[in-house]
Structures are given as C-alpha cells and as structure tokens.
Amino acid sequence: EYEIFLLGRSNVGKSTLMAELTGHAVETGQRPGVTQAPNHFDWTHPSMVLTDLPGFGFMAGVSEADRERIKTDVIQYVERYADHGLVAVLVVDGKAVIDIIDRHTGPDEVAHVVELFAFLQDVGIPTVVAVNKMDKVDDRDERLNELCDRLGLPGPWQQWQDTIAPITAKRGSIDALESAVREHLHEAGRDDV
C-alpha cells in the first residue's frame, strides 16, 4: 500500500483540503500523540492512502515538550515509511507563511516549515508545498517567489510548479496540487493512480 503524506500545522486548512481530496468530510487530528497511530484516509485509488501527520511548530494548548515529541514522532514515522511514501504534501497558509518563517529565522534558528521541507527532501520523498488560502493573498507572484526564496528554491516560482502549488481549498480550487502530485506519481511510474 502506498501513502501520500499530508503534513501541516493546525489551522492551515488541512481538513478542508482532505475533504476536497477524498470527497467526504474528515476530521484531522492535531492532538498530541496522534502520530503514534496516524489517521489514514482512502484516496481515489484502493492501494493509495492519505496519511495525516501534524506539522511542526505552534499548536494551541500544546506544551513545548509535547511539540518536541510530536516532531520526533513525525520524523520517525516518515523515515520508517519513506519506502511507502510516494509524495509528501506540506500544507501552509499562504497569507501567513512568510511572516511566520521570517519571525522564526535567525543565526541559530530555522523555521519549522523550512526544516520540515528540508527533512522531506533529505529523506528523498518528492514534496509538494500546498500554499493554501490564496484567496486572501493579493500579491500572488511576489508571495510565491518569497516562499521559494525561503525554501532555498532559486528563481521565479513558476519554475517550481511540481513543488509549489497555490490553492484555495475552501473553494475547491486545488488543480495545481492535483497536477503536481500526479506529476510525481508519473515520475514514480504510477500512472495507474
């Protein structure tokens, strides 16, 4: 069974996106400990599941220690199941992500989302960043270019359309994500999906 890892901190719109992808309402888990038994959801193909994993970083009502443990759990899960994982989808809030990254970047600090993206690349899982809530973003190209810059992807974002997928999950505008994922599945020889 193959997996698509879906990662993102709370409130980025992960449940909304899951509902679009699976065609039914889902409740994603953001509670501490959820990664010990991650939620799996059927996707359009019987041998394919979506695995919901919490992102790193701030979660309301979760202590620093619990956050660290969640992070360790996510890393362990992804490393352990990297062979099954065809694609990782990292969901971010397009309106907030640059501010959050810049606020948490310093001489001794790497923002969680940047760290998570780098980790997924290191493990060798093709990663798509689903940049959600684009309906709230006015300066679309500028914002997406900034995101590429922060993630270490050189050049204009249009060069990274299999990695950067601007979406508005709430309105069901997820074409960019679906084609990016399909592109990676194609590269993995999974045209049957």
Positions that interact with ligand GDP (CB under 6 A) = 8, 10-16, 28, 132-133, 135-136, 168-170
Residue among 111 and 130 whose Cβ is closer to ligand GDP: 130
Least spacing, CB of residue 13 vs ligand GDP, in Å: 3
Least spacing, CB of residue 74 vs ligand GDP, in Å: 15
Residue among 26 and 185 whose Cβ is closer to ligand GDP: 26
Residue among 79 and 175 whose Cβ is closer to ligand GDP: 175
Phi, psi dihedral angles at 161 (to 5 degrees): -70, -10
Cα separation, 160 vs 184, in Å, equals: 13
| Residue of minimal Cβ distance to ligand GDP | 13
Least spacing, CB of residue 184 vs ligand GDP, in Å: 22
Give every strand in the sheet of 85-93, ordered side by side.
39-42, 48-54, 2-8, 85-93, 127-132, 164-166
Residue among 86 and 134 whose Cβ is closer to ligand GDP: 134
Cα separation, 10 vs 84, in Å, equals: 25
Stretch (H or E) spanning 189: none
Residue among 66 and 82 whose Cβ is closer to ligand GDP: 66
Residues contacting residue 135 through CB under 8 Å, at least 6 positions apart: 168, 170, 171
Contact assessment for residue 132 and residue 168, using Cβ atoms and an 8 Å cutoff = yes
Least spacing, CB of residue 48 vs ligand GDP, in Å: 21
Token pair 């443990």 in the structure block, residue: 69
